[in-house]
Chains A and B, each alone.
Chain A
Amino acid sequence: MPRLAEPTAVQPVESAMVPRLFRLVDRRQDTADTFTIVLEPNDGVPLAFIPGQFTMLSAFGVGEVPISVSGDAHVAGPLQHTVRDVGAVTHALARTAVGDVMGVRGPYGTGWDVADGHSRDVVFVGGGIGLAPLRPAVLEVLAHREDYGRVVLLYGARSPEELLFVDEMKQWEDQGMEVLVTVDYGRESWQGRVGLVTKLIPRAGFDPMSTLALICGPEVMMRHTALALVGRGVRSNRIRVSLERNMRCGVGLCGHCQYRELFVCVDGPVLPYAQVTGLLGLREV
């Protein structure tokens, strides 16, 4: 009989599928439908992660959702997630109050690997809630600002009211980051840019030949952004995208998040654009 994997060498699926309990210690409403929750582990052991990873957040009696970590990977403090209230589970999470207990599994998946941008320019491109998974990478780069060349954030949202981390961006600019923001549509009071985030690329100061680009947003936005960056001469293996799929287990067993041969939960969510160029052009993969 073929030998199975040594049981002692692997993590039991019970523990992989069973959440740890975390308590909500702070909550902030970012926009009309987006909120940030700050969680402390009941067992006192901080959840270490690398920028780009996600956890499975669990609302008792409702279900689980994959949410990228939006906090600072450098501070061994509470776990932070920025969540958009769009479904049953995120809606249940939206209704939690300080003191409530929820479940957390993870962290899972690949990271942005920002260290690959050392001595290079770094371009972050975010669309809507897509800035949340990028935030830990932004904080990582700004914490070691001297290791990088020019650092740029290109951020687009549907409307000014939906822009995330606006107050924080001023601080990021002070720390040596160029920030360009655009919206799809704004009221008369909006003094900023209007248009697609790809339109910001020619305005940003970076050297395409020596740039690491990290993109997170809707799939169509990531595809067009990556195409535009490649068009300017950025190498496709130095462009990374963070894919979103219906992750149910987070450990590559449930099959839900398959993207042809990739399990987005373990092979991703962060993937080199070069690896998914063909797939991003196909519908319903």
Chain B
Amino acid sequence: MDDEVRMDDIRGMVLFVPGLQSLIDLLRERGWAVIGPTVRDGAVVHAEIESVDQLPRGVGDLQDAGSYRLRERDDEALFGFAAGPQAWKSLLFPSRELLWSGRRVGAEKEVTPAVVDAKRLALFGVRSCDLHALAIHDRVLAKREVTDTAYVARREATFIVALTCSDPGGTCFCVSMGTGPVPDEGFDLALTELLDQDGHRFLVVPGSDRGQEVLDDLKSRAGGGEVMPAGEQDHLGAQEVGAAAAQHMGRSLDTKGLRDLLYAHPEHPRWADVASRCLACTNCTLVCPTCFCTSVDVVSDLTGSATERWRVWDSCFTTDFSYLHGGSVRDSVQSRYRQWATHKLASWVDQFGTSGCVGCGRCITWCPAAIDLTAEVAAIRSGKE
């Protein structure tokens, strides 16, 4: 009996679609709001879900530089698409957050710090690229001398259901960045969607004690037809899903010596070339799952007696970002694109011990000028000789 339980621990479980519903129900019962992919306005976006019927059943996507379209699949897959426009960061690191509010009382002033409202969220279907992005944000925002405590509080209240990516998009390059497509760590549970002769089902394996607890609970209460111990076939099937996905990367990036390459070529003519196409619209930084730069907005009433300070997402593509009295340090678009790419792929390594890029491809897909980071880097590399 003991042996059997241990086998379950190692080998995980198989959930059929009703079993997946039971998992959602269980997470909700345990106090987590489940946030998963849904279709809205022609895109896969995150929303709170209660039912598997809200997942994008039979929906796939077509992604290329500057292009994103949903398509109809010829199967019933619930997760048969690649990374959508939204990274998970907006849930843990909101685009606007109150820092403090102030009041003028006669000649005196009062400052009231904001209170962090950390909701318990279960992120449902986190791809390996985004899992690595979360780990990067942990490093940038939580493992610092001074931390973003609002992020830390939210992160600790988060349950993560990871997902093996089965259908990478035309702009994906997680294999190049060593960040996917199969989740390796940093999750509570990991799902792999299987659509083969044995039926539409999900292999689920635990990645934490908390995940194991949820799985044990699920086992004890779910009906036999919904949840079963995983077998050899299920694991082989899951491996095949991951291996096939790894073969279908739409893009690739040669990361060998990348930091030194970019440091060595701050004046490469390609920076001017890309600047002639870049609109400095900030889309890439907004969709990037690791971009973390922020500014502080001041909001006041007309009388000036009440004021608030809000932390807001900012972008290194704006002129205001590097403004000093008299002008901006990075006045040209060329210098701003160089800053973004060099930070993401090179100086990030010095700052945080890892690349800032996870190969999710969002910056390529959502660039209105179809600028492809991997192509820009390749051009700089080829011009090196």
Roughly how many angstroms separate A263 CA and B107 CA in the complex, as a whole number? 37
Q: Which of A2-10, A149-157, A166-174 lies at the binding interface?
A: A2-10
Is there a chain B Cβ closer than 8 Å to A202's Cβ? no
Residue on B with the closest CB to A17?
B99
Asked if A28 is at the interface of the complex by the 8 Å CB criterion, the answer is no
CB distance from B154 to the nearest CB of A (A): 11
Q: Which residues of A contact B334 (CB under 8 A)?
A: 284
A212 to chain B, nearest CB (A): 27
The reply to whether B322 and A246 contact each other, CB–CB distance below 8 Å, is: yes
How far, in whole Å, are A12 and B155 apart by their CA atoms in the complex? Answer: 15
Q: Which residues of A contact B325 (CB under 8 A)?
A: 84, 86-87, 90
Say whether A282 contacts B208, CB under 8 Å: no
Cα–Cα, bound, A100→B109 (Å) = 9
A21–B109 Cα distance when bound, in Å, is: 8
Q: Which of A1, A251, A284 contacts B145 (CB 8 A)?
A: A251
A244 at the interface (CB under 8 A from B): yes
* Cβ contact within 8 Å between A4 and B155: yes
Contact of A18 among B111, B160, B207 (CB under 8 A): B111
CB distance from B282 to the nearest CB of A (A): 13
Type the 1/0 row for B303-342, where 1 means its CB is closer than 8 Å to any CB of A.
0100101010010100001111110011110110001001
Assembled-state Cα–Cα distance A11/B266 (Å): 36
The answer to whether A261 and B304 touch (CB under 8 A), given A1-B160, A17-B99, A255-B293, is no
CA distance A134 to B117 in the complex (A): 43
Q: Is residue A103 within 8 Å, beta carbon to beta carbon, of the partner chain?
A: yes
Whether A17 lies near B100 (C-beta < 8 A) is yes
Known contacts A101-B108, A246-B323, A284-B332; A14/B347 CB under 8 A? no
CA distance A143 to B335 in the complex (A): 44
Contact (Cβ within 8 A) B156 A4? yes
Task: Give the interface segment out of B3-11, B183-191, B228-236, B370-378.
Answer: B183-191
Give the complex CA separation of A4 and B147 in angstroms.
10
B contact face: mostly helix, strand, loop, or mixed: mixed
Q: Whole-angstrom distance between the alpha carbons of A7 and B146 in the complex?
A: 10
Residues of A within 8 A of B210 (CB): 1
Which of B102, B152, B298, B347 is in CB contact (< 8 Å) with A63? Answer: B298
Q: Are A60 and B304 in contact (CB under 8 A)?
A: yes
Chain B residues with CB below 8 A from A61, complex form: 298, 300, 304, 307
The 8 A CB mask of A230-250 against B (1 = contact, 0 = none) is: 000000000000001110110
**Segment touching A, from B39-47, B72-80, B135-143, B361-369:** B135-143
Interface size on B, residues (CB 8 A): 71
- Which of A1, A16, A256, A266 meets B208, CB within 8 Å? A1
Contacts of B8-60 to chain A: CB distance below 8 A: none
- Given the known inter-chain contacts A2-B185, A86-B326, A282-B266, please indicate yes or no for A15 contacting B142, CB distance below 8 A: no
B355 CB to nearest A CB, Å: 13
Does A45 sit at the interface, judged by CB under 8 A?
Answer: no
Are A64's CB and B296's CB within 8 A? yes
From the candidates A63, A103, A246, name the one contacting B321 in the complex (CB within 8 A): A246
Closest Cβ neighbor of B259 among chain A residues: A261
A261 to B292, CA, bound (A): 15
Q: Bound complex: CA of A15 vs CA of B111, how far in Å? A: 11
Question: Does B239 lie at the interface of the complex (its beta carbon under 8 Å from any beta carbon of A)?
Answer: no
Identify B343's interface contact among A19, A244, A258, CB under 8 A. A258
- Taking A11-B146, A19-B111, A258-B316 as known contacts, 18 extra A-B pairs with beta carbons closer than 8 A to each other, sorted by chain A number, are A2-B135, A7-B153, A17-B99, A17-B296, A17-B311, A60-B109, A61-B304, A99-B107, A100-B107, A103-B102, A246-B324, A248-B296, A253-B140, A254-B295, A258-B343, A261-B350, A266-B145, A284-B332
**What are 5 A-to-B residue pairs whose CB atoms are below 8 Å?**
A16-B146, A17-B311, A61-B304, A64-B296, A263-B351
